[in-house]
Amino acid sequence: MMRNKYALSKATPTVGAAFTMFQTGNGVFKIWDTAGQERFNSVTPMYYRMAEIVVLVVDLHEGKAEGKAAKFVEEVRQINQECEIILVGNKIDLGLGIFKKLQTLAKEKKVQLFCTSALTNEGIDELVEAIENKETKEGEKQLELEDLKLHEVRIQRKCCQNNK
């Protein structure tokens, strides 16, 4: 199990998209972090199509987080009904914020809810333990690059001809 490996001397926000991978006794965890940026909305379905667990982290102090979370849970379920969804309210170190609303949403959508602080690591061990304890599905789902067939697009241009 992973413990006490999350401490950061200074918390840094994700800029763009980030990918990290680590191995535990239960398997390999591949984590994509798009920081909730809308410009990645067209590619994120590809990641959770193959996922066994999707962790949605929202800011407890962002007013629109509840609506975004509800929309995201529905989107994931439309694409991958088999995957587990975990909802995480982050920044608990700043207070409860919209925790009660997220608690209601989690009950309605039948997803687990955790509260964490990326700054103080509060709740992180519990979250990681819950992820590690999820049963893995039979068979390994991986999207291999050789499975992707890319086609070269050729644009034919008409050329001006000299008809002398």
- pLDDT one-digit tens code per residue, 76-86: 999 999 889 99
Tell me if 28 sits within 8 A of 131, measured CB to CB.
Answer: no
Q: Return d(Cα 26, Cα 161) in angstroms, integer.
A: 66
pTM, two decimals, is 0.69
Q: How many CA atoms lie within 13 A of 63 on its CB side?
A: 0
Count Cβ atoms below 10 Å from residue 45 Cβ, excluding itself. 13
In whole angstroms, how far apart are CA 69 and each of 22, 64, 114? 26, 9, 13
Residue 128 located in a structural domain: yes
pLDDT of residue 1: 40
**One-letter amino acid of 53:** I
pLDDT of residue 42: 66
Residue 9 located in a structural domain: no
pLDDT of residue 29: 74
pLDDT of residue 118: 87
Residue 11 located in a structural domain: no
Q: How many structural domains compose the chain?
A: 1
Beta-strand pair 84-90/18-24: unpaired
| Cα angle for residues 98, 78, 36 (degrees, 5° grid) | 45
β-sheet bridge partners, residue 55: 86
Residue 142 located in a structural domain: yes
pLDDT of residue 152: 54
- Model confidence over 39-80: pLDDT tens digits? 556 667 777 788 888 888 899 998 888 998 999 899 999 999
pLDDT of residue 163: 52
Q: Return d(Cα 18, Cα 67) in angstroms, integer.
A: 24
**DSSP code of 56?**
E
Residue 39 located in a structural domain: yes
Q: Return d(Cα 164, Cα 161) in angstroms, integer.
A: 9
Give the chain's residues under pLDDT 50.
Answer: 1-3, 7-9, 136-149
pLDDT of residue 136: 46
pLDDT of residue 159: 55
Whichever domain contains 29, its CATH number is 3.40.50.300
Q: SS3 of 75, please?
A: helix
Residue 115 located in a structural domain: yes
Residue 95 located in a structural domain: yes
Beta-strand pair 27-33/18-24: antiparallel
Count Cβ atoms below 10 Å from residue 136 Cβ, excluding itself. 11
Residue 8 located in a structural domain: no
